[in-house]
């Protein structure tokens, strides 16, 4: 993609970063510089364009829910995952637990909310917790094309120590029979996934792999089955941007997933993988500068899929 | 589209009609023959293929929510509509009212649930109720290419007499300040829209107009602004199939809208407008045979947009 | 009761009226002078003590729910009333509708919330609406010992014109089958009951009748069956003070009922009927000065029944 | 109390035990003989009457919530307890968690629901967990007048191992700031309290102590401050019988607390402490035979306090 176009998007996005603030629930996130902003775009041939703070490292947070879902689907098949989690959007805020035990069949609504992602993570296989961790990190490295991708262990520790709400969620699902096995281990794996550190460049490769029907634009390898890709992209549209998903589909129209670490991945199917970073969040938990840059690109380059 | 393909879809769909039943809340719907099934497809040049009970008349019900939304947006602009209704999916069942007064800003979640459609309908303009009715019917005639399209006045009367839940909804919104003016008139207009009688052929033309970016494939006339079309198609994906929308996006992947009258419209963007009819509904309120035919066509012809 | 004791209670209550404000939903209530405060106490022999603004007229509002319930029970028997309404407290705020259609059996929680009182009112019998109105007013006159008690027709008109939330509630119950017949007539009767104008002296007689097991301390007539009185007093304890009922039972310990018109009735069983008036309300909808006076009396005279 | 009267109550209650069943969530409760039924009554002089299975041991379960609350109030004062828990009934079923994080100020509704009792338990002081356990058991022994009262360690183990819902609840409150310190320790203390084994005779003494304003009818010792007793009795009325509390107040009219172990305690203030045992529960979690015996006694002996 044209570097000038990205530069214009960045200039546009910068106007908005002041209206939000970084996530505050752990010190590692709260201390981020809210004026940071970057964007990277990878096309289907692996060409990368990037501007702004595109080398900055940040944790994936909810973006890792997409990786967990893909891995779980590839390991277990659709039926073994969707017996534990639904496919429906909720309309609830990103930090809500209130309707978890509301469903008659007890399943969390979808894999993009915490409850759903925890249920999905619980199905990721491996002989031991360490092996399960290794499988996740290895897969994330292949999807991002970055063999050095790793966990931010300070964030991981903080999440583990303060994740009381997620602990509540997993024990509620344990009582409902959705979760089997060792809850603390599943949680540890979940927090590890959330704490994977990456840059916009890493995520642009991942997004491009999704936009390219599962084939890495770097290696040409089929990393995800096309059927899985389609399902994941549809969930990114209906549930990827917390309770802004509907409005984002209507205004930007790209399968995307946001994380409270400040990242967003976005797919222009068959064209581009896009990743933005900006730790200043709006009140729905989405990067405010990231949203504005994606809006700008979608409008300027007619990327809206609807 | 190939007639043989449609015939196969119909054969496939027929296997499932026995597992549902017609909507029961008014006698006119409850008495429908549940084994009826039809499908019509209109391409971007206006060529129509149709099999099964494609001439049968049925009422639009919630499919008319799409028409009401388009008309309201074209008359009033986006801001004057979306100050009264949101764009987010709910996860709630089609007949739920429970979360209506739950929102801090009081707006119904989206224009595809009853509360949202009633709010949208309240913004449709006209000097008198009769003129507003006329505007709606005229616009529906143009969108379906059927100058004789009209209201089923028996259904309309039944809906008006028994619509206590919708009456509750509008008065709740009146108390919240979302609705202004005469509630009973707005409701009458809403029930009129729901009661418009049509066939699969009519709806296939409407769906094709949506698939063709607002240009009627019959007359070549631009009936809807492209920007409106994009927004409506995104809402059909996130909210069009009640609380099956997420799963429908994941498995069929076409912007669609369902009605408890038994109809479904579906858009293969730039290719086809599809309409199905089958009054046997599943427990989420979607035509069970219609769903299966759309699933079949999407798989066989690779129409899934994700 | 000793006039000096009442005077002390009044002095105590006056310190708090500044911390609340009158109900704002209709102009007739909003315009009340928030510094008004009065209290009247009637003993079992009909002796009345009263201080402060004890002659001021105000509308009963929710206090009339007690009269409606008594009348409905005496006319129809327990079973014909409690098939339409439960006996359980809700924990919800006084102006909430959110859980109305939440119950599996659709009944409103209890007769002291709007939904429940409307359901109860719908069972009050009479050949015509006018006759039902007359029956209510006549019964209220006997219970208060005031043959001139009447409706404040300005308030009544205001309530009728703006009661959209109550209209929503009754139509929801109509759709659920709880309400039968003409909703607008039931609502009119409900608003009429809410709009009955009275003074502390009137209500003290009514409260004394309840404290005296249904026998008017003025006339000696058995106006309410003892079994009905017991049930009503228990409901006043569990549900009488909106979502402050539990704390009120714990701190004051008297069967009581509050109204947003500023009145509270309270029963010291076998001893006193107490009525307070003060239009300045706290955020739960209870008269702030009234609460404080009752707290003072209960403590000073050891009236707490627990 | 007259032994013949108790025998009649027992005969009456026995007719109903077949309509319920024992609590099923742990094997130790599920295996109880549902036809067991007993009742014991202790008057203000310590005279005990008892019939039926009044020597059978069962676990206190939720009845221990009353002991936890009394101990917490006596140790910490009202303000330090009620900053963590409210005083309002909920209307929710006994096993619901859904509204826990619904409250703006995050406090559980009252000390008689699990969330509230866990919050209350977390304030019970002691240098170590073992000391806190000892304090609880010692206090329970004094309240029941049984120096050999002890924990059923099999039930305790079962509760600890399967208490996922309570674990979810405590972590949710930990995330909300209601709970401080070590969640697993608080839970262990909570489960210990639930698992205290007792007979009807033990509980009749405890109920009589409550009926006697905190003075043990056995030893004459003031075990609970009168102010605490009043508050506890009011909460037993508004919240003691799960979501049957309102109806129980209306029909029986005695401050009572029920446990899913099959016990109920009931206070006829200044007259009797009553305890019933019958493991067959109705669908609200109350002993079905116990309810019927209390109904019988209240009617026959005119004990209803309202």
Max CA distance (Å), chain C? 54
Contacts of D165 in chain A (CB under 8 A): 171-172, 175
Q: Which residue has the higher pLDDT, D173 or A90?
A: D173
Q: Do chains A and B touch (3 or more CB pairs under 8 A)?
A: yes
Q: Tell me whether the CATH fold assigned to C3-59+198-301 matches the one assigned to C62-194.
A: yes
Q: How far is CA D32 from the centre of its chain?
A: 19
- Which chains would you list as touching A if contact means 3+ CB atom pairs under 8 Å? B, D
Contacts of B172 in chain C (CB under 8 A): 97, 164-165, 168
Share of chain A above pLDDT 70, in %: 95
Q: Do chains A and C touch (3 or more CB pairs under 8 A)?
A: no
Asked if pLDDT for residue C54 goes beyond 90, the answer is yes
Q: Could you tell me which residues are beta bridge partners of residue C48? A: C42
Is B199 catalytic? The answer is no
Provide the mean pLDDT of chain B. 94
Dump pLDDT digits (tens) for A178-231. 999 999 999 999 999 999 999 999 999 999 999 999 999 999 999 999 999 999
SS (H, E, C) D269-303: CCCEEEEEECCCECCCCCEHHHHHHHHHHHHHHCC
Dump pLDDT digits (tens) for C114-135. 999 999 999 999 999 999 999 9
Is A65 catalytic? The answer is yes
Q: DSSP string of D115-146? A: HHHHHHHTT---SSHHHHHHHHHHHHHHHHT-
Contacts of A110 in chain B (CB under 8 A): 246
Q: How far is CA B67 from the centre of its chain?
A: 7
DSSP 8-state secondary structure symbol assigned to residue D47: -
Yes or no, beta carbons of A235 and B243 under 8 Å apart? no
> Which pLDDT score, from 0 to 100, does residue B105 have?
58
* Region A62-194: CATH code: 3.40.710.10
From the candidates B260, B266, B287, B292, give the one annotated as an active-site residue.
B260
> Which pLDDT score, from 0 to 100, does residue C25 have?
87
| Average pLDDT rounded to a whole number, residues C233-242 | 97
Catalytic positions of C are 62, 65, 190, 242, 260
Q: Which of B96, B99, B168 sits opposite C175 (nearest CB)?
A: B168
Contacts of D283 in chain C (CB under 8 A): none
* Region C3-59+198-301: CATH code: 3.40.710.10
Asked if pLDDT for residue C199 goes beyond 50, the answer is yes
Yes or no, beta carbons of A88 and B91 under 8 Å apart? yes
Q: DSSP string of chain A? A: --HHHHHHHHHHHHTTGGG-B---SSHHHHTS-TT--EEEEEETT--EEEEESTT--EE-GGGHHHHHHHHHHHHH-HHHHHTTS--------TT--TTGGGSTT---S-TTSHHHHHHHHTT---SSHHHHHHHHHHHHHHHHT-TT-EE-HHHHHHHHHH-HHHHHHHHHHHHHTS--S-HHHHHHHHHHHHTEEE-HHHHHHHHHHHHTTTB-TTT--B-S-HHHHHHHHHHHHHHTTGGGHHHHHHHT-S-EEE-TTSEEEEEETTTEEEEEE---B-TTSSBHHHHHHHHHHHHHHT----
A-D contacts at Cβ under 8 angstroms: 50
Comparing alpha-carbon positions, the chain A residue that sits nearest to B246 is A88
Dump pLDDT digits (tens) for D112-148. 999 999 999 999 999 999 999 999 999 999 999 999 9
Quickly state the pLDDT bin for C178 (edges 50, 70, 90).
very high
Provide the mean pLDDT of chain A. 94
| Average pLDDT rounded to a whole number, residues B118-128 | 97
The CA-based angle A14-A256-B83, given to 5 degrees, is 70
Q: The tokens 């927090």 sit on which residue? A: A191
Yes or no, beta carbons of A237 and B237 under 8 Å apart? yes
> Which pLDDT score, from 0 to 100, does residue D97 have?
55
Asked if pLDDT for residue D185 goes beyond 70, the answer is yes
Comparing alpha-carbon positions, the chain D residue that sits nearest to C232 is D250
Q: Which of A96, A97, A174 sits opposite D164 (nearest CB)?
A: A174
Interface test with D, best of C96, C249, C257, C266 (most D CBs within 10 A): C249
Quickly state the pLDDT bin for A154 (edges 50, 70, 90).
very high
Phi, psi of A296 (to 5 degrees): -60, -50
DSSP 8-state secondary structure symbol assigned to residue C287: B
Yes or no, beta carbons of C101 and B97 under 8 Å apart? yes
Contacts of A167 in chain D (CB under 8 A): 167, 171, 174-175
Q: Which of A91, A231, A269 sits opposite B250 (nearest CB)?
A: A231
Exposure letters C70-107 (e unless 16+ CB within 10 A, then b) = bbbbeebeeeebbebbbbbbbbbebebbebbbeeeeeb
Is D280 catalytic? The answer is no
| Average pLDDT rounded to a whole number, residues D224-234 | 98
Yes or no, beta carbons of C168 and B164 under 8 Å apart? no
By three-state DSSP, how is residue C85 classified?
A: coil
Provide the mean pLDDT of chain D. 94
Asked if pLDDT for residue C102 goes beyond 50, the answer is no
Q: How far is CA B191 from the centre of its chain?
A: 13
Yes or no, beta carbons of B175 and C169 under 8 Å apart? no
Task: For residue A60, give Cα distances in angstroms to A182, A184, C263.
Answer: 24, 21, 57
Interface residues on C facing B, Cβ-Cβ cutoff 8 A: 96-99, 101-102, 164-165, 167-172, 174-175, 183
> Which pLDDT score, from 0 to 100, does residue A102 have?
44
Dump pLDDT digits (tens) for A108-126. 999 999 999 999 999 999 9
By three-state DSSP, how is residue C98 classified?
A: coil
Contacts of A249 in chain B (CB under 8 A): 87, 234-235, 237-238
Dump pLDDT digits (tens) for C200-236. 999 999 999 999 999 999 999 999 999 999 999 999 9
Quickly state the pLDDT bin for A2 (edges 50, 70, 90).
confident
For strands A58-59 and C196-198, give the pairing.
unpaired
| Average pLDDT rounded to a whole number, residues B120-138 | 98
CA distance linking residue D57 with residue B286, whole number of Å: 55
By three-state DSSP, how is residue D258 classified?
A: strand
Sign of CA dihedral C82, C84, C86, C87: negative
Q: Which residue has the higher pLDDT, A139 or A101?
A: A139
| Average pLDDT rounded to a whole number, residues B127-137 | 98
Yes or no, beta carbons of D235 and C250 under 8 Å apart? yes
Is D41 catalytic? The answer is no
Phi, psi of B154 (to 5 degrees): -70, -45
CA distance linking residue A42 with residue A272, whole number of Å: 6
Yes or no, beta carbons of C110 and D235 under 8 Å apart? no
Q: Which of C101, C102, C167 sits opposite B171 (nearest CB)?
A: C167
Q: How far apart are the first and last CA of chain C?
A: 21
CA distance linking residue A69 with residue D302, whole number of Å: 64
Measure in Å the smallest separation between the Cα of B304 and chain A Cα atoms: 8
Rg (CA), chain D: 18
Dump pLDDT digits (tens) for D245-301. 999 999 999 999 999 999 999 999 999 999 999 999 999 999 999 999 999 999 999
- Which chains would you list as touching D if contact means 3+ CB atom pairs under 8 Å? A, C
Asked if pLDDT for residue C176 goes beyond 90, the answer is no
Extents of the domains making up chain B: 3-59+198-301, 62-194
Half-sphere exposure (Cβ direction) of A68: Cα atoms closer than 13 Å: 36
Joined together, the tokens standing for residue B112 give 């595809």
Q: Do chains B and D touch (3 or more CB pairs under 8 A)?
A: no
Comparing alpha-carbon positions, the chain B residue that sits nearest to A90 is B91
Edge-to-edge order in the sheet of strand A58-59: A58-59, A196-198, A150-151
Residue D79, C-beta contacts closer than 8 angstroms, at least 6 positions apart:
none
Edge-to-edge order in the sheet of strand A256-258: A48-52, A38-43, A272-277, A263-268, A256-258
Joined together, the tokens standing for residue B276 give 């199905």
Yes or no, beta carbons of B168 and C164 under 8 Å apart? no
Measure in Å the smallest separation between the Cα of A5 and chain B Cα atoms: 22
| Average pLDDT rounded to a whole number, residues D46-75 | 97
Quickly state the pLDDT bin for A96 (edges 50, 70, 90).
low
| Average pLDDT rounded to a whole number, residues D179-189 | 97
Residue (of D259, D254, D244, D280) closest to D92 by Cα position: D244
Half-sphere exposure (Cβ direction) of C292: Cα atoms closer than 13 Å: 22
Fold of the CATH domain A3-58+199-301 = Beta-lactamase (3.40.710)
Asked if pLDDT for residue B2 goes beyond 90, the answer is no
Number of other CB atoms surrounding residue A147 within 10 Å:
9
């Amino acid at each position: 993609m044209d570097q000038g176009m990205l530069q214009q998007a960045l200039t546009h996005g910068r106007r908005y970063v002041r209206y939000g603030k970084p996530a505050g629930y752990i010190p590692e996130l709260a201390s981020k510089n809210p004026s940071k902003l970057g964007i990277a775009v990878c096309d289907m041939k692996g060409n990368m364009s990037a501007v702004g703070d595109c080398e900055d490292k940040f944790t994936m947070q909810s973006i890792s829910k997409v990786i967990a879902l893909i891995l779980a689907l590839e390991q277990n098949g659709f039926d073994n995952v969707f017996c534990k989690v639904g496919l429906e959007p909720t309309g609830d805020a990103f930090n809500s637990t209130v309707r978890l035990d509301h469903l008659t069949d007890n399943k969390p609504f979808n894999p993009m909310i915490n409850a759903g992602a925890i249920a999905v993570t619980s199905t990721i296989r491996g002989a031991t917790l360490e092996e399960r961790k290794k499988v996740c990190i290895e897969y994330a490295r292949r999807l991002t094309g970055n063999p050095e991708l790793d966990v931010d262990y300070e964030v991981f520790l903080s999440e583990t120590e303060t994740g009381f709400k997620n602990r509540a969620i997993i024990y509620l699902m344990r009582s409902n029979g959705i979760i089997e096995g060792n809850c603390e281990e599943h949680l540890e794996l979940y927090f590890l996934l959330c704490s994977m550190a990456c840059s916009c460049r890493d995520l642009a490769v991942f997004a491009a792999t999704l936009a390219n029907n599962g084939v890495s634009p770097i290696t040409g390898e089929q990393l995800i089955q096309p059927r899985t890709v389609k399902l994941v992209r549809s969930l990114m549209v209906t549930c990827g941007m917390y309770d802004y998903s509907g409005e984002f589909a209507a205004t930007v129209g790209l399968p995307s997933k946001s994380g409270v670490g400040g990242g967003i991945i976005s797919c222009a199917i068959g064209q581009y993988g896009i990743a933005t970073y900006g730790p200043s969040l709006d009140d729905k938990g989405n990067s405010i500068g990231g949203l504005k840059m994606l809006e700008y690109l979608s409008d300027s380059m007619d990327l809206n899929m609807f």
